[in-house]
Amino acid sequence: MVSPLERKLLRDLWRIKGQALAIGLVIALGVLMLVMMDGLVNTLDETRQAYYQRYRLADVFVSVKRAPNSVLESLGHITGISAVEGRVTGDALIDLADVAIPLRAQAVSLPDLGSPRLNAVLLTAGRMLDARRADEILLLDGFARARQLKPGDVLAATVKGTRREFTIVGLAQSPEFLYTTAPGEMVPDDGRFAVFWMSRTALAALYDMKGAFNEALLATTRQARLPAILDQADAVVKAYGGLGAYGLEDQTSNRFVSEEISGLRASAVGVPPIFLAVAAFLLYIVISRLVQSEREQIGLLKAFGYSSAEVSGHYLKLVLVIASGGAIVGSIMGIAAGHSMAVFYQHYFKFPFIVFQLDPRAFVTGFGVSIVTASVGGLLVLKQVFVLTPAVAMRPAAPPDYRQSGQGLQRLYHWLDQPSRMVLRRVLRQPGRMAGSVAGIATGMALSVGMTTVLTGFDRAIDLTFSVVDRSDASVTFIQPMGDKAVFELQALEGVTYVEPFRNVAVVFRHGRYSYRGAIYGLTNTARLYRALDAAHNPMLLDQQGIVIAQPLANMLHIRPGEVITVDVREGHQPVLHIPVIGVADTLLGAPTYMDINWLNRYLHEPERISGAYLSLDSHSRDSVYQAIKNMPAVAGMTLKSDRLAAFVNMMDSGAGAMRYIMMLVAAAITFGIVYNAARIAYAERERDLASLRVIGFTRGEVAFVLLGELALVTLLALPLGSVLGYYLSMGVAQGFSTDLYQIPATFSAANYGVAGVSVLLAAVASGWLVKRDIDRMDMVSALKSKE
């Protein structure tokens, strides 16, 4: 049997259905984001781990110049090693007829017989290699699709200065190359970097590695201690030109994937609580006003014997029904959205399969958090129910004293018509309620400001990186460090207007217990084409013997200017250097470090050596420059800035950065829900008053003006407050989107605030139209009756 309080609950829900739906929408979106993001992160992480395990991705990579195969046995004796695989790898250049510049590639060997013990490949088209055919290759599937290559095509490549032609017999994927990035670059691009596999015998012959290897792959046991294994592996291969062993976490492709997943995880942790907090605030406003409007009914219920706990439980049930409904809808929508996003990221990350993983804790967390946040908003109000005695509650509340309110505006009243006076009196006589509405709409404004600022921040990151930091047209990288004579050779090419050399050295930075595997960029002190910039985006001088590090790296290593950083060089004689930090650079791409190229060469005892050069080109002679550089045997690769820019934009629009568009849509929905809820609350509170105005002769337009004028005034008052809140929210959201790969600045502009303000105003107009429609349809007889 349905109790009287339960019947009242159903009537109350129906009466405030507009507000309930608006609040439920906010809660649903918050839970949707939580379930979707949590499920997406778990799915990607599980899929990555399953892919790595199924195709036996190595845990440790050991690079050497050249070591005999017998060294593999010594590596296998290291404590904690379960499997060892030796292979040959090398750089190559691919020459495509429809591409002006040479494309960089990496050649990797596969065993002549059977599959490798580690780092196996997945054949996606064609067949596997025939070890008897030295000209057969497997080509990375992503590059083949980007360049429209297929099995049976012939691919021309330059290997160790010799041009050769290979037949593509199959396309393959590998967990080692989820992200394909040319050495020294930060931005992945399927079409600009290729990987091809050859039989071990054929590739060893090309790179003079018969009976030898230049990279060892190690698999570790679960109990293995990675730092000890890396130290022992370095000791084993030191005599053979070891270049430094590193773990899977520092493997290029895995680092990119991990950064993308970390960015999604940060969004999953930071964004949903904002929406749920907004929902709790809205519930607080709705329930507080509902309790105030039903003061006499509360007194009657208590007079008929209902306890304070029972009456409070009734209103708490109202809160829980709204919150539970929103949580259920949000969970269902979150599952659907998470599955769709997982399929999208499967193609983005090039996973051959997807392990869709929904953690039940996400549902429990989403449901629990929505209930708790909603209950907090309601419980703050329900304490008013406990203190109301029947005698006090059934008496009308003491009329407020308005003698002091608005006295300074009496003259202004003479210039206003009657509806305008009503609007102004309402705002002045009930400042607490108006402040709540202003705060709610300001929150919506802050969400809009935050998301538009992030959108602008992505554009700002692109502009600073490719217009202010990098002002070159192209860059050239050499196979190995060259003498400065190479600068003059490049400068002599027709069409090259300016050449700026650089030195790129692979290192491991250490500061206390913190470390980071990266590189030092040696630049000229008068750099024009590629510059280190300070926080004000002014060029930094590098004419000292110290090092300038990027702000993200300074944060990771917990180091400041004036302190000394340890640099473990991973090439050449591999010295361990101790260099003072002389400055912190502002960068939005990666975590680079800079030094004066002359000082860097002095530290390495390799004077006048360069790794490559940035070029400024004459737009009318670029094709001749490309052809000339193609014919240079010492060139490892050439990159056009326009190609890097396109790859960077694609990365931010299709990876974790694409989530900003989804969040922008969610923020817009939240903003509308907040504004609409404020309008519905105002209408519910004043429905009887508005009906009275209609009875005494006010027109529908005048009655609507009384309510909508209040909404307009509250909305205008909320805009400046929302702008201030949006300023701080923007910094938090931008930080959440930033990763080690790229940093998103919180860029503030009048346009951002203008767009956010217009979105709030449009939401107010739409909400006002919906409420006016209800005013026009209002049944005055029902509105003037008692609610119970």
> pLDDT, tens digit, for every residue of 17-37?
777 777 777 778 778 877 888
Domain extent for 571:
496-617
Q: Is residue 605 part of a domain?
A: yes
Going through 546-689 in order, the beta strands assigned E by DSSP cover 547-550, 564-569, 576-585, 593-596, 609-617, 635-640
Find where tokens 């949000």 sit: 330
50: confidence class by pLDDT, cuts 50, 70, 90:
very high
- For residues 529 and 650, the model is more confident at 529
Q: Rounded to whole angstroms, how far apart are CA atoms 455 and 622? A: 34
Backbone phi and psi for residue 779, each to the nearest 5 degrees, phi listed first? -90, 105
Of 139, 170, 205, which residue is a domain's last?
205
- Co-location of 145 and 199 in the same domain: yes
- Co-location of 698 and 651 in the same domain: yes
Across the range 539-552, mean pLDDT stands at 85
- Co-location of 129 and 36 in the same domain: no
Q: Is residue 523 part of a domain?
A: yes
The rounded percent of the chain whose pLDDT value lies above 90 is: 22
- Co-location of 265 and 354 in the same domain: yes
pLDDT, position 54: 93
Give the length of the chain.
788
Q: What contacts 24+ positions apart, CB below 8 Å, involve 745-749?
A: 745/457, 745/460, 745/461, 745/464, 745/588, 746/453, 746/454, 746/457, 747/453, 747/456, 747/457, 747/460, 748/453, 749/456
Lowest pLDDT segment from 483-487, 615-619, 650-654? 650-654
Q: Which of 607, 669, 770, 567 is nearest to 24 (CA)?
A: 669
DSSP reduced 3-state for 399: coil
Find where tokens 């005048």 sit: 702
β-bridge partners, 138: 170, 197
Q: Is residue 559 part of a domain?
A: yes
Across the range 184-209, mean pLDDT stands at 87
Examine the pLDDT at 658 and tell me if it is beyond 90. no
Q: Is residue 421 part of a domain?
A: yes
Of 583, 617, 651, which residue is a domain's last?
617
Q: Rounded to whole angstroms, how far apart are CA atoms 64 and 68? A: 10
pLDDT, position 675: 79
- Co-location of 730 and 649 in the same domain: yes
Q: Which of 187, 648, 663 is nearest to 461 (CA)?
A: 648
Find where tokens 């990098």 sit: 470
- State in Å, rounded, how far the first CA of the chain is from the last one: 20
Q: Is residue 74 part of a domain?
A: no
- Co-location of 692 and 777 in the same domain: yes
- Co-location of 419 and 467 in the same domain: yes
pLDDT in tens, 108-153: 999 998 889 999 999 999 999 998 898 999 999 999 998 999 999 9
- Co-location of 503 and 382 in the same domain: no
Backbone conformation region of residue 348, classed left if phi is above 0, alpha if psi is from -120 to 50, else beta: alpha
Examine the pLDDT at 157 and tell me if it is beyond 50. yes
Q: Is residue 201 part of a domain?
A: yes
Find where tokens 């993200």 sit: 552
pLDDT in tens, 550-583: 888 888 899 999 899 999 988 878 889 999 999 8
pLDDT, position 788: 46
User: Residues 6 or more apart from 383 whose CB is under 8 A from it?
Assistant: none
Q: Rounded to whole angstroms, how far apart are CA atoms 342 and 58? A: 25
pLDDT, position 289: 66
- Co-location of 421 and 393 in the same domain: no
Across the range 245-250, mean pLDDT stands at 90
Q: Rounded to whole angstroms, how far apart are CA atoms 671 and 767? A: 11
Question: Which CATH number does the domain housing residue 576 bear?
Answer: 2.40.40
- Co-location of 684 and 781 in the same domain: yes
Q: Rounded to whole angstroms, how far apart are CA atoms 586 and 535? A: 5
**Mean residue pLDDT across the chain:** 81
Does the predicted model carry a pTM greater than 0.85? no
pLDDT, position 680: 76
Q: Rounded to whole angstroms, how far apart are CA atoms 457 and 479? A: 36
β-bridge partners, 511: 514
Evaluate whether 326 touches 370 at the Cβ level (below 8 Å).
yes
- Co-location of 420 and 390 in the same domain: no
Find where tokens 């199959």 sit: 170
pLDDT, position 275: 65
User: Residues 6 or more apart from 391 whose CB is under 8 A from it?
Assistant: 299
pLDDT, position 95: 84
Q: Is residue 622 part of a domain?
A: no
Lowest pLDDT segment from 244-248, 477-481, 642-646, 672-676? 672-676
Domains in the chain, number: 4
Across the range 8-16, mean pLDDT stands at 79
Q: Rounded to whole angstroms, how far apart are CA atoms 229 and 272? A: 41
Pairing of strands 193-199, 103-110: parallel
Q: Which of 569, 561, 572, 553 is nearest to 515 (CA)?
A: 553
pLDDT, position 542: 84
- For residues 317 and 130, the model is more confident at 130
Examine the pLDDT at 382 and tell me if it is beyond 90. no
pLDDT, position 384: 63
Evaluate whether 783 touches 693 at the Cβ level (below 8 Å).
no
Q: Rounded to whole angstroms, how far apart are CA atoms 282 and 222? A: 50
- Co-location of 741 and 711 in the same domain: yes
Q: Which helix (H) or strand (E) holds 265?
A: helix 252-270
pLDDT in tens, 337-369: 888 888 888 887 888 888 877 767 767 777 777
Across the range 655-666, mean pLDDT stands at 67
Examine the pLDDT at 227 and tell me if it is beyond 50. yes
- For residues 284 and 692, the model is more confident at 692
Across the range 172-201, mean pLDDT stands at 86
Find where tokens 């493997």 sit: 251
Examine the pLDDT at 305 and tell me if it is beyond 80. no
DSSP reduced 3-state for 676: helix
Q: Is residue 688 part of a domain?
A: yes
Examine the pLDDT at 723 and tell me if it is beyond 70. yes
User: Residues 6 or more apart from 555 whose CB is under 8 A from it?
Assistant: none
